[in-house]
Amino acid sequence: MSVAVVTGGSSGIGAATARLLASRGWTCVLVARGRERLEGLAGEIGGEAEVCDVGDREALEAVARRVGERHAAVQLLVSSAGVPGRGGGFTDLPPERIEELTRTNYLGSVWALRAFLPLLEAGAPAHVVNVVSVAGVYAVGASGPYSASKHAQLAFSRAVAVELAPRGIRVHAVNPGPVRTEGFPQESLRGTRLDRFVLTPERVAHTILRTVERDRPESYAFGAYRVAGLVQAALPGTLSRIAQQRRRRRASRSRSE
Ligand SMILES: NC(=O)c1ccc[n+]([C@@H]2O[C@H](COP(=O)([O-])OP(=O)(O)OC[C@H]3O[C@@H](n4cnc5c(N)ncnc54)[C@H](OP(=O)(O)O)[C@@H]3O)[C@@H](O)[C@H]2O)c1
């Protein structure tokens, strides 16, 4: 039976992915900080729970050692643990939150891959999926620190994919747009025309599985979001001016209300 480690496996995209994998016969090791939810889902899908903060490198290494005592190899690592920036910018978000975004969203995937690398090599051909975001290819205005953590996670993903290919490990990035989950409730989109583009975690879970099965380096869950990164790369000045104009309009609207 194949073994998958899913960080952030107690909620949202990670939980939906673990459920999908379990329904296809995978044994899932779920990793997150909150014990109750984690053990509840692990029990439901016949998986295993490992309570751990992915930003804590040594704790993750200890988790990998414990998993190695139970399983000779791991065939799939899904790094989905992540925290939102709640729309905060570089000058208004508390510094501790900027550190947490970096530690969890970016370094969490680096430490997870490094900790599980020996087990992934033992399981080769094996796969790693980093759940990044469209915010990893596109950054304007609000949510800058979140975007920066996702840009770093995507750069890590792309670079390490080249490093690990000769060792039989394929690294993939999945870049969803808005998905309604506990950490990312997408309140600002409710009642707007954009709300119909908000995805379910189950839809992203299917994209993750398809990305592995079809061996795609990067996927978007909703293809139109691919354009966002292309537009920013081609027209950074234009996009920045549009974002500044929208910001000014929003500020003057809220002053006149
Ligand atoms: N939802 C969206 O709109 C969206 C869009 C693009 C990308 N993403 C990305 O998708 C990933 C999953 O997000 P989600 O929407 O599924 O959010 P979610 O429902 O809030 O789930 C986040 C998961 O990560 C775990 N987690 C958070 N911090 C952790 C830490 N330091 N160590 C270990 N586990 C941690 C949480 O459990 P504990 O709190 O118990 O630790 C939970 O299991 C994130 O990387 C996010 O950036 C989300």
Q: What predicted TM-score, i.e. pTM, was given to this entire model?
A: 0.96
In this structure, the residues whose C-beta lies within 6 A of any atom of ligand 1 are: 7-8, 10-14, 32-34, 53-55, 80-83, 104-105, 131, 133, 176, 178-179, 181-184, 201
Per the DSSP assignment, residues forming a β-bridge with 129 are 78, 172
Range of the domain at 133: 3-256
pLDDT at 246: 81
CA of 197 to the centre of ligand 1 (A): 20
pLDDT at 53: 98
**Which residue has the CA at smallest separation from atom 8 of ligand 1?**
133
Count of domains for the chain: 1
pLDDT at 248: 84
Q: Are 34 and 81 in contact (CB under 8 A)?
A: no
- State the Cα angle at 174 between 151 and 5, rounded to 5°: 105
Per the DSSP assignment, residues forming a β-bridge with 234 are none
CA of 12 to the centre of ligand 1 (A): 7
| Residues, the chain | 257
pLDDT at 221: 84
Is 220 catalytic? The answer is no
The enclosing domain of 205 has a CATH number of: 3.40.50.720
Digitized pLDDT (tens) for each residue of the chain, 257 residues in all = 799 999 999 999 999 999 999 999 999 999 999 999 999 999 999 999 999 999 999 999 999 999 999 999 999 999 999 999 988 999 999 999 999 999 999 999 999 999 999 999 999 999 999 999 999 998 877 789 999 999 999 999 999 999 999 999 999 999 999 999 999 999 989 999 889 999 999 999 999 999 999 999 999 988 888 888 898 889 888 888 888 888 788 778 777 76
Measured between alpha carbons, how far is 85 from 145 in angstroms, rounded to an integer? 7
